Amino acid sequence: MNRVPALEDLGDVSGKRVLVRTDFNVPMEGPDDQRVITDDFRIRAALPTIEYLTSRGAHVVCASHLGRPKGAPSAKYSMEPVRKRLAELAPGVDLLENLRFNPGEEGNDPTFVDDLIRGIDMYVNDAFGAAHRSHASIVGPPRTLPSAAGRLLHREVEVLGDMREKPKRPFVAVLGGAKVSDKLGVIEALQQRVDAFIIGGGMCFTFLAAQGYPVGDSICERDQIETCKQLLAGGTPIHLPEDIIGLDAQGVYQTFGIRLPEGAKGLDIGPGSAAAFTDIIMDARSVFWNGPMGMFEDPRFASGTKTVAQAVADTKAFTVVGGGDSAAALAQFKLESEVDHVSTGGGASLEFLELGDLPGLAALRGAPNAR
């Protein structure tokens, strides 16, 4: 397998127009026509790549998606607020409008690829968070243009590659969040690689239901219960919560045991679970964390996520946190600098750990300068 080409493999970039696929899918709030960026981490994260190119005389054209506009322009998903912030951070750099305004992006339409690369000499992918999708801007340009991975993508591949191939053991995967069916495949694949799973967040209720516990009105994917049963019967330990915080049928805040009464909604792991999870994380030598332990956006349900985040920060293990919401939780608790690596991609980091490759990486390895 060729290696993924790095920026240095582009050779002389002076005077060249370089298309940089960035991940500027930043969180925003406010009315549709007055959106404000609430965290510019992803824009700042692209600067090392942009500066490598501009300081060597290249003209940089950035392109990104933002949200899910479903193939049509809309004020809500306009790149305008990002363009303003980018102009402050990297003057003279261009930014195309939201790639997903054109259905050709997600449809991987060759005509859209042609539009994207018209007048462009080279391509750089620095959008790890989108590298698991075979979209036009990810897999199209490297078919014809000299191409490279940007600094951010390169570091992701290095860190996650090591975690996949040669983790220090015990290797513990801490999983939570809301997208159960999305992540079950990964759990299955990671069974071979990790020594234990910790499962909290919305995910845990499908597992608890698979163990026969009543989960009340908590989010639970009934059609995945069989898969969860098989995973629980597999050889890799799966640690589940032993207490749950949530709202009872009357909407009153409560700490429950592991059985939720009818109508109750589990929205965070309880203090006993958080303490047990902390012990496991402290004893690990590699930790990968994706997905908050509860609905941490509501301060009433943030303590499980905060305790686990603190353990991930305190453990001597090599720690990687992946996922937009998990990274946001870390930032909220001001613990970003206490972990070894914050991955910019949730789905991408899981898929890379699972498969060891991504469509966007394979595309770069096939570029004319890498073949």
Structure token pair of residue 144: 């014809």
Catalytic residue status for 324: yes
Which CB sits closer to ligand ADP, 112 or 289? 289
Map tokens 């290797």 to a residue.
Answer: 171
Alpha-carbon 161 to chain mean position: 15
Q: Show the binding pattern over residues 314-343: x = contacts ligand ADP (CB under 6 A), - = does not.
A: ---------xxxx-----------------
292 is a contact residue toward ligand ADP (CB under 6 A):
yes
Q: Which residues ranging from 289 to 348 are in contact with Mg ion (CB under 5 A)? A: 324-325
Selection from 177, 153, 125, 87 nearest residue 10 by Cα: 125
Structure token pair of residue 312: 């991930």
Structure token pair of residue 79: 């790149």
Q: Min. distance of Cβ 203 from ligand ADP in angstroms?
A: 8
Please tell me which residue in 35, 179, 265, 306 is annotated as part of the active site.
179
- CA–CA dist 261, 256 (Å, integer): 9
Question: Binding residue for ligand ADP (CB under 6 A) from 219, 238, 361, 363?
Answer: 219
- What does 201 interact with, of ligand ADP, Mg ion, none (CB < 5 to 8 A by kind)? ligand ADP
Selection from 128, 131, 40, 126 nearest residue 89 by Cα: 40
Which CB sits closer to ligand ADP, 167 or 291? 291
Q: Min. distance of Cβ 57 from ligand ADP in angstroms?
A: 38
Catalytic residue status for 346: no
Q: Show the binding pattern over residues 137-176: x = contacts ligand ADP (CB under 6 A), - = does not.
A: ---------------------------------------x
Which CB sits closer to Mg ion, 268 or 325? 325
- What does 315 interact with, of Mg ion, ligand ADP, none (CB < 5 to 8 A by kind)? none
Site size toward ligand ADP (CB under 6 A) is: 20
266 is a contact residue toward ligand ADP (CB under 6 A):
yes
Please tell me which residue in 176, 200, 324, 360 is annotated as part of the active site.
324
201 is a contact residue toward ligand ADP (CB under 6 A):
yes
Please tell me which residue in 150, 266, 347, 360 is annotated as part of the active site.
347
Question: Binding residue for ligand ADP (CB under 6 A) from 65, 151, 179, 341?
Answer: 179
Catalytic residue status for 42: yes
Q: Which residues ranging from 10 to 29 are in contact with ligand ADP (CB under 6 A)? A: none
Question: Binding residue for ligand ADP (CB under 6 A) from 26, 295, 313, 335?
Answer: 295
Question: Binding residue for ligand ADP (CB under 6 A) from 141, 167, 291, 359?
Answer: 291
- What does 294 interact with, of Mg ion, ligand ADP, none (CB < 5 to 8 A by kind)? ligand ADP
Q: Min. distance of Cβ 206 from Mg ion in angstroms?
A: 17
224 is a contact residue toward ligand ADP (CB under 6 A):
no
Three-state SS for the chain is: CCCCCEHHHHCCCCCCEEEEECCCCCCEECCHHHCEECCCHHHHHCHHHHHHHHCCCCEEEEECCCCCCCCCCCHHHCCHHHHHHHHHHCCCCEECCCHHHCHHHHCCCHHHHHHHHCCCCEEEECCHHHCCCCCHHHHCHHHCCCEEECHHHHHHHHHHHHHHHCCCCCEEEEECCCCHHHHHHHHHHHCCCCCEEEECCCCHHHHHHHCCCCECCCCCCHHHHHHHHHHHHCCCCEECCCCEEEECCCCCEEEECCCECCCCEEEEECHHHHHHHHHHHHHCCEEEEECCCCCCCCHHHCHHHHHHHHHHHHCCCEEEEECHHHHHHHHHCCCHHHCCEEECCHHHHHHHHHHCCCHHHHHHHCCCCCC
Catalytic residue status for 347: yes
**Interface ranges with ligand ADP (CB under 6 A):** 176-179, 201-202, 219, 266-267, 290-292, 294-295, 297, 323-326, 346
Catalytic positions are 42, 179, 324, 347
